Amino acid sequence: MQQEKRLTGKIAADRIRQMAVPRADPALLAAYRALGDASGVLSDVMDRLGIPGVVGASTLAPTLPGKVMVGTALTVRNVMQRGHEYEAARAVVNKMAEFEAHNLAQPDDVLVIQGVPGISNMGGISAQLGKRHGEVGAIVMGGVRDVAHSRSVGFPVWASEITPRTGKWRVETVEINGDVEIDGVRVCCGDIVFADDTGVCFIPIARAQEVLVMAQKTVKDEEIKCAAIDAGTHIADLPKSD
């Protein structure tokens, strides 16, 4: 049987921009998780600080609802493979290389893929491998498939499309750990990714502490307001936020 051709060795290495990703302190990631399903709060804070980086769940929908995911971005950029897809399929030419990104992963990483629309950029085996390497989930601008498989291993994925059409002979990975663009948002490897049922926030690592402090205060203010509402306080008398 003909062996499947994959990106390996020097070819794959040439496309890895950074071998060592700048990673946030685990305590910082834990503090973000403690915010709960706070993408709305983070979006407001990022607006006030002038930081772009929010994509709604109508664009990036979770395949495993009810999850809050926080981690460090490990980035992959895909493009359409040259040549005819059926000829590549017959020759079993596979130029996808997100597996190389999995090999660089550490616990609490999030795979962030700038993918190709209408085609799967990540399947169930890839999700299972990511889970084994300690990744907490994935963000894919483009198609994914094998959703039941990724759900079965508890690997949440936020994706813009779901399709059975494989990317094996249609997609080529051209860069790992470079900058990617997700719905107009620039994401760098090492940035913090926060995702819940409402959407996804990409937080530049250099601004992460600043965003966190404001978000923590906002969450506390909202808890006070909700308690006041439950106590029967009139809307005009609710505590004012800064």
Q: How far is CA 163 from CA 6, 40, 92, 195, in A?
A: 22, 29, 20, 22
207 is in an annotated binding site: no
Evaluate whether 78 touches 170 at the Cβ level (below 8 Å).
Answer: no
Cα(18)–Cα(229) distance, rounded to whole angstroms? 50
Beta-bridged to residue 205, according to DSSP, are none
221 is in an annotated binding site: no
Helix residue ranges, H only, 92-169: 98-104, 124-132, 147-152
DSSP codes, 185-232: EEE-TT-EEEE-SSEEEEE-GGGHHHHHHHHHHHHHHHHHHHHHHHTT
- Amino acid 51 reads I
Sequence ranges of the binding site: 145-146
Sequence ranges of the binding site for Mg(2+): 146
Sequence ranges of the binding site for substrate: 145
